[in-house]
């Protein structure tokens, strides 16, 4: 047994570090967090100074038991979780659970998994920094309070299909996306005419070189045409030439957010994928720690970078720089994300290579020379109207850092590496004229957020920290407040006026505009929830208020304020606001009146129980006719749907005709569009617009469904059918679903295959139950972690070590019920039957 037990977060890291430290150390993983707040009663004792109530996560019970056993046998326990606040918190939880003294237990941190870094950390241990623990605890407690108190308000006041939640950072992130969408919806493109001339000159080799020169912009077509008319018969002479030196400077090394942004722009990775790959690179010792907001590089790294530049590109490419952190809370001792060994320009793993190479190039480029440019500006006179055209050219004289890396931008119109050269021109030189155009161009709305540009915006506003961005974006997409999707472009005509051979020609052309890829769009649910929270919880939804909370977490980390006092100051007014909203706020449905139908009924777009919908007629009272409802298509929104589009939705549901004596209709339901045939519902495939399904297509879908549902075999005189579901291909027999593994040919299953699959399932089911009492809905099953009691779909653990396997086979029902009651005291309490309301006649409505 090794004298020292060192605990890290991940098994991959444990394996690497154990190889470095040798036989005196046994390195084990705690697999991340081992404790979390209880879910019952919020897990926070609000009356007792917001004392958190932690429990060991059920899936971590075995991990903790193993670590406890190893800790008892070891002379000393070392805690080496990650170096951020979350990692400090994990070390504290380990100390609490393993009954270690936080004041004396050795805590080590390292920014990279290399032999020198690990050995240096072991030689310089510290103790757990309780300020960092308290900062993380404050974040966890505050976020739990906001989530647990706000979410029930949404259930009551918006409802819909459940699953609604609110959060301190997630709700603000959705608000950003909502505001951007509304800005785009209100945007009206404005056109203008851009003048551009194609000119030519002869170079020193007597070759004709064509180039472009730009003129003024005109808001009206008539003005642009007048200008072109004034250029008929003109001579074009070089009036003035200016040559200006310029330079480009490399970007700073990567922080968490800049890595996420650049990986999105250059590699097309989502934020979660970037962090997953970066985590693997870090744990395998390839890069430094991937959660950081620092742009610093250590001396060791700087020396290695300079050596690599000198070796690969030469000394004239070296230019040492020290970058300054924009974020005041960034810790100077931390480093930017960089390769551990600069001499390795790639890694062998193809999954990780692209991200690693991006990090390597950015790090190397940050210490390389500026790119030296030469910009030429030529002013060209038009003889007939004395107006000017401007031609520009830019030439790279020395590539510098551009030899390795060029930073991308979020501007979709920017082209990288623009290197345009003008021919050698001299003042007074007369140029050849080819043609001049005035092309209509339209202003563009600002781009919707990508995952990466949303991270950039949150960082600019000071909301969230490196560890929070990826889970925040995952949550708002999972909650269906936001969709990540592509938007198809639409055709748009534009005008061109062309002057050639002293004649002006008018042309109409078309372009594809508005196409977007992997952008974040708010759903109607996201719009309604954001409006409701913004109306009733202004502080929680205020950007500066949310950013100020982040600063207070930083103050806790630096020991300037006490964590539970900060939480108390927040909780008082927040809780009062929650209670007031529950009492006074009306139900939110995001209602928008579109107009009035031909028979005078209101047409309303609003949020319904199962999503956005359109309604004709007000809510019925008495004997009034009930309103009609139609579900919105996935491409439609409450905020933008027109009256005509709404009326079109009500055409669905009308009979298409008959098939085999049964009526066929098409409609959109809770689970999407469908064909109804008698009492049967047949789903319409994804991508098929319900309004395009005619009678013939509906019959095709019905017959295809019949073929799909037809028995493919018999077993024990009962039919066997097959299909493909959420978890892959399956066969169904006797109401039992049986997965078909990949080793079977699913398209050509034989009777022998089917017999084998069913018999294997029957054996598995027989081994699953130790005892069953179906009428009581109670069973003892062999679970994943051992025998367990199942009651009403709840899984309860048996008392540890109390029963042997043989005893469980004969245990009585009463004993099992006692085990259930011990864990769930109200399990067998009989609910009082609901009282039937007496039938009453509807009273006439009272006069106001």
Q: Give the residue numbers annotated as catalytic, written as ranges.
A: 289
Q: Are strands 672-677 and 628-631 parallel, antiparallel or unpaired?
A: unpaired
What is the number of residues in the chain? Answer: 848
CA distance 381 to 237: 5
Element (H, E) at 616: strand 611-616
Nearest residue to 731 (alpha-carbon basis) of 720, 715, 718, 747: 720
CA distance 507 to 494: 9
- Is there a contact between 486 and 516 (Cβ–Cβ < 8 Å)? yes
CA distance 78 to 545: 39
What is the DSSP secondary-structure string of 286-311?
SBS-S--------HHHHHHHHHHHHH
Q: Token pair of 410, please?
A: 């979020």
- Is there a contact between 673 and 649 (Cβ–Cβ < 8 Å)? no
What count of other Cβ atoms lies within 10 Å of the Cβ of residue 257? 22
Cα dist from 418 to 136, 198, 253, whole Å: 46, 19, 23
CA distance 323 to 254: 11
- Is there a contact between 470 and 271 (Cβ–Cβ < 8 Å)? yes
Q: State whether residue 218 is helix, strand or coil.
A: strand
What count of other Cβ atoms lies within 10 Å of the Cβ of residue 294? 23
Q: Bridge partners of 789?
A: 780, 796
How far is the first Cα of the chain from the last one, in angstroms, to the nearest whole number? 86
Cα dist from 52 to 37, 100, 168, 256, 622, whole Å: 7, 19, 18, 30, 52
How big is the chain by its Cα radius of gyration, in Å?
A: 35
Q: State whether residue 23 is helix, strand or coil.
A: coil
- Is there a contact between 130 and 27 (Cβ–Cβ < 8 Å)? no
- Is there a contact between 547 and 463 (Cβ–Cβ < 8 Å)? yes
Residue keyed to tokens 């055209």? 389
- Is there a contact between 701 and 675 (Cβ–Cβ < 8 Å)? yes
CA distance 94 to 92: 5
What count of other Cβ atoms lies within 10 Å of the Cβ of residue 277? 21
CA distance 665 to 657: 8
């Amino acid at each position: 047994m090794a004298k020292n037990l060192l605990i890290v977060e991940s098994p991959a890291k444990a394996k690497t570090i154990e190889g470095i430290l040798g036989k005196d150390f046994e390195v084990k993983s705690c697999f991340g967090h081992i404790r979390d707040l209880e879910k019952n009663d919020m897990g926070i004792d609000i009356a007792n100074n917001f004392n958190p109530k932690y429990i060991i996560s059920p899936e971590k019970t075995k991990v903790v038991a193993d670590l406890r056993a190893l800790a008892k046998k070891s002379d000393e326990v070392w805690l080496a979780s990650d170096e951020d606040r979350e990692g400090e918190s994990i070390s504290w939880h380990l100390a609490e659970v393993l009954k270690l003294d936080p004041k004396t237990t050795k805590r080590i941190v390292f920014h990279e998994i290399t032999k020198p870094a690990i050995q240096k950390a072991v030689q310089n241990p510290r103790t757990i920094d309780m300020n960092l623990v308290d900062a993380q605890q404050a974040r966890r407690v505050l976020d739990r309070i906001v989530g647990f108190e706000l979410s029930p308000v949404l259930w009551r006041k918006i409802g819909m299909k459940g699953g609604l939640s609110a959060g301190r950072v997630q709700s603000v992130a959705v608000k950003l996306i909502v505001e951007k969408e509304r800005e785009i919806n209100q945007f009206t493109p404005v056109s203008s005419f851009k003048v551009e001339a194609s000119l030519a000159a002869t170079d020193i080799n007597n070759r004709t070189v064509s180039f472009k020169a730009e003129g003024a912009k005109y808001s009206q077509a008539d003005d642009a045409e007048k200008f072109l008319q004034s250029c008929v018969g003109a001579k074009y002479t070089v009036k003035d030439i200016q040559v200006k030196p310029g330079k480009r400077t490399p970007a700073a090394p990567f922080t968490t957010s800049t890595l996420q942004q650049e990986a999105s722009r250059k590699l097309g990775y989502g934020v979660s994928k970037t962090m997953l790959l970066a985590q693997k690179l870090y744990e395998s010792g390839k890069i430094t720690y991937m959660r950081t907001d620092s742009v610093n590089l250590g001396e060791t790294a700087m020396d290695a970078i300079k050596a690599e530049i000198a070796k690969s590109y030469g000394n004239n490419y070296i230019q040492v720089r020290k970058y300054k952190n924009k974020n005041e809370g960034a810790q100077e001792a931390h480093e930017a994300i960089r390769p551990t060994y600069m001499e390795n320009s790639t890694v062998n793993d193809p999954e990780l290579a692209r991200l690693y190479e991006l990090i390597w190039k950015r790090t190397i480029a940050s210490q390389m020379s500026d790119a030296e440019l030469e910009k030429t500006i030529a002013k060209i006179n038009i003889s007939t109207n004395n107006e000017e055209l401007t031609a520009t050219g830019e030439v790279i004289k020395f590539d510098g850092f551009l030899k390795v890396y060029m930073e991308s931008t979020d501007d979709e119109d920017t082209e990288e590496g623009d290197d345009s050269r003008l021919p050698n021109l001299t003042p007074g030189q007369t140029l050849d004229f080819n043609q001049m155009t005035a092309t209509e161009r339209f202003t563009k709305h600002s781009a919707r957020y990508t995952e990466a540009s949303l991270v950039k915006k949150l960082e600019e506003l000071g909301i969230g920290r490196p560890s929070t961005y990826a889970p925040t974006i995952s949550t708002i997409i999972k909650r269906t407040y936001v969709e990540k999707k592509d938007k198809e472009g639409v055709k748009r005509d534009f005008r061109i006026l062309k002057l050639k051979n002293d004649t002006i020609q008018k042309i109409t052309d078309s372009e594809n505009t508005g196409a977007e890829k992997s952008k974040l769009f708010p759903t109607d649910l996201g719009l309604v929830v954001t409006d409701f929270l913004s109306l009733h919880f202004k502080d929680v939804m205020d950007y500066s208020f949310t950013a100020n909370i982040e600063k207070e977490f930083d103050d806790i980390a630096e020991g300037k304020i006490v964590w539970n006092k900060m939480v108390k100051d927040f909780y008082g007014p927040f809780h009062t606001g929650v209670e007031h909203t529950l009492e006074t706020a009306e139900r939110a449905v995001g209602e928008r009146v579109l107009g009035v139908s031909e028979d005078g009924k209101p047409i309303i777009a609003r949020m319904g129980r199962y999503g956005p919908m359109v309604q004709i007629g007000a809510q019925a009272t008495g004997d009034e006719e009930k309103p009609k409802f139609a579900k919105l298509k996935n491409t439609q929104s409450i905020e933008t749907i027109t009256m005509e589009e709404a009326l079109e939705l009500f055409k669905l549901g009308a009979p298409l005709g008959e098939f085999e004596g049964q009526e066929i209709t098409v409609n959109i339901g809770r689970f999407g569009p469908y064909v109804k045939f008698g009492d049967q519902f047949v789903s319409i495939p994804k991508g098929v617009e319900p309004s395009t399904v005619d009678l013939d297509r509906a019959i095709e879908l019905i017959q295809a469904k019949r073929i799909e549902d037809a028995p493919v075999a018999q077993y024990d005189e009962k039919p066997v059918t097959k299909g493909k579901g959420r978890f892959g291909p399956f066969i169904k027999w006797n109401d039992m679903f049986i997965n078909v593994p990949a080793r079977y040919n699913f398209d050509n299953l034989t009777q022998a295959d089917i017999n084998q699959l069913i018999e294997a399932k029957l054996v598995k089911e027989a081994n699953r139950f130790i005892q069953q009492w179906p009428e009581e809905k109670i069973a003892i099953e062999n679970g994943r972690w051992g025998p367990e009691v199942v009651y009403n779909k709840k899984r309860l653990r048996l008392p540890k070590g109390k029963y042997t396997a043989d005893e469980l086979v004969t245990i009585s029902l009463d004993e099992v019920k006692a085990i259930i009651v011990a864990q769930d005291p109200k399990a067998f309490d009989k609910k009082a039957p609901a009282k039937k309301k007496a039938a009453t006649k509807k009273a006439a409505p009272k006069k106001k």
